[in-house]
Structure 1
Amino acid sequence: MPISKEKALELINEKTKQFQHLLDTATYNTRYDAEYYEAYYGTEGLLKELFSEEEVRRFSLRVSASRSIRVVTPFLEYEIELLTYKKHISKCIWQLNVYKEYKTSGKTQK
């Protein structure tokens, strides 16, 4: 049974709030904790249900937390790791807002 547009928007908003909470409370020691995994993998499940398995792969590629900078000092490593995590969470929020827009407009994600 397909999910109604209203329910889909509600679920997307819930995931966005989860990621916003992660961003607001992010520390080096709390990154990639149980709350993160619940939000991230829950989002993948939601996207599979709302769109497709292919959209889950696209989401993963769009929000990847890749690091392009290598640093030698441990202090800077700590800061860069946290910054990379925060950028990743921000990308997740941004992408969820894109999905919300698609559901609101009735278009399909490409």
Structure 2
Amino acid sequence: MLLSFPLVLLGTGCSNIPKSGTPESQFSSLDCRAIADQLAQEQVTQERAAQAKSNSWKVVIPFAIAARYIDASSHMNESERRATLLAQERQSKSCNQVSG
């Protein structure tokens, strides 16, 4: 029971980090508006991941701190990579810079 406590904290700590369901393989089929929407969603993911990383110290158990920080970093890195791919797709389609 006590061992499951850090896992519960980990699960609740990063559960508010949104993740896009659009696979990267479909980026090339997105129109300009959909690319802008996806980029806006990646920005929210990056902001929430950064917030989770900065709040990871609030968990008292050291294992949970490290786990939450690593999980938030993973979300942020994946979102940054996806945003780069989306920006490349936007540029290749000569989309206007539409902000979300």
Same fold (TM over 0.5): no
Q: Per the shorter chain, which TM-score range? A: 0.3 to 0.5
| Bigger-Rg structure (1/2) | 2
TM (normalized to structure 2)? 0.44
TM (normalized to structure 1)? 0.40
